[in-house]
Amino acid sequence: MAIGKKPWSGRFQKPTAPNVEKFTSSIHYDQRLYPYDIEGSIAHATMLAGQNIISKNEASKIVTALKNILKDIEKGKLKFSPADEDIHMAIERELISRIGATGGKLHSARSSNDQIVLDVRLFLRKEIKIIISLMNALQMQLVNMAKREIRTIMPGYTHMQKAQPVLLSHYLLAFGEMFTRDVQRLNECGNRLNVLPLGAAALAGTSLPIDRDQTAKILNFPAVSKNSMDTVADRDFVAEFIFAASLLMMHLSRFCEDLILWSSDEFGFVEISDAYTTGSSIMPQKKNPDVAELIRGKTARVYGDLFTIMTLLKGLPMSYNRDLQEDKEPLFDAVDTVKDCLAIFTEMINHTKFNAERMYLAAQGGFSTATDIAEYLVGRGIPFRRAHEIVGKIVAYCLKNKKELKNLTLKEYRIFYQGFTDDIQNIIKLDKAVNSRKHTGGTATSTVLKRIKEFEKSFGKN
């Protein structure tokens, strides 16, 4: 098939206008699907021969040529032409140029409609595994950090106000939990997309005696699609992946937001390595957390990819429409952005130091153990709402007299409740407050260490 001649040109009296050819071409971005397109074509040729739709000799010639085309692409010997329109046409043209008319038999019983869905599913199946591997590396890094920082106490925040003391390890594992759910979503998405679409053809299937189960077995698909129209019409698996990717990026962005704040003089909780920060073009003293800021910014980019795919799909009539050509750029962008961000974030966090002393001092402020006093009173039979009111008045007294809870005498405590005893001074110690929360999910050292061990056991199961 000559360059520029379309495989569908038989019924057309005029060649495609140059501007139309440029406008409709996708080869400049979908060429990255070439290994999956060739993998699917080899499986398809093998199945066609198994069903005597083509001869075994023809299948052998096709498969050999496809493997050689793959090698030439990987070596940079084969360049794609904009006139090829898409990756399918590019490879089919090259195949026919090498083995003649026999190459034209490969497209029997399939359409570019089911072919492209196959390529994208194969691509995404592999990329999800890579992303999960990157996620696992990050989770392991967080667990290792949690083990190292098991004695570091920091202020926990709500509404960006100091709330209660927690272990830094507990904070780190909070993101570990979020990333665990991200991995679960990616696995579930991978399971749902792991269905063979080939055989749906354009939209109605084919009258040729294909064996879809054989093709599925060759390509390691555990199932085949059940409705040919649905197979070529929907890209819900693409949308689902980008949604999962958006949540993953949201979690990364929130982590970055904290690191950005904590690296400021106002907090001074972390020191990000010089290798993962940048300077100012005008202010010599500046050390900017640009990597973290860019990850936060790129989150919006992945959100845009999600909005693109959802808007693309919302008004399409059944079944295939050329609009679906536009699904790949947001998908590729989301995949590339997530992988880049995960890789650089894991590097950055591995070269970030936490200022345990600064965190501990910060945790002492803001009356962070006030809730412990309220729970102390509850333990003495006082209704929580009454205990809350008592402690609120104690805090107001401290503010008025410029004192901290630890500076109050027993006599001062008893102004608000006569039942206070000497043990109140022990209750408001940070270590005591942290380690009193021993229940599942709490911030006590023993609980956090137990969760660390659970994480370590689960890594190989994601």
Catalytic residue IDs = 159, 280
- H-helix or E-strand containing 424? helix 424-427
Q: 117 with 38: CB under 8 angstroms?
A: no
* Residue matched to tokens 């046409």: 89
Residue 107 DSSP class:
T
In the block, which residue shows the tokens 């498969």?
A: 63
What Rg, from alpha-carbon coordinates, does the chain have? 31
Stated as kind and residue range, the H or E segment containing 167 is: strand 161-167
d(CA 244, CA 248): 6
Neighbours of 81 (CB within 10 A): 14
Given CA atoms 66, 68, 74, 80 in this order, what sign does their dihedral have? negative
Q: Please give the helix or strand (H or E) that residue 155 lies within, else none.
A: strand 153-158
Do 147 and 172 meet the contact criterion of CB atoms below 8 Å apart? no
175 within 8 A of 200, measured Cβ to Cβ = no
Can you read off the two tokens belonging to residue 78?
């084969």
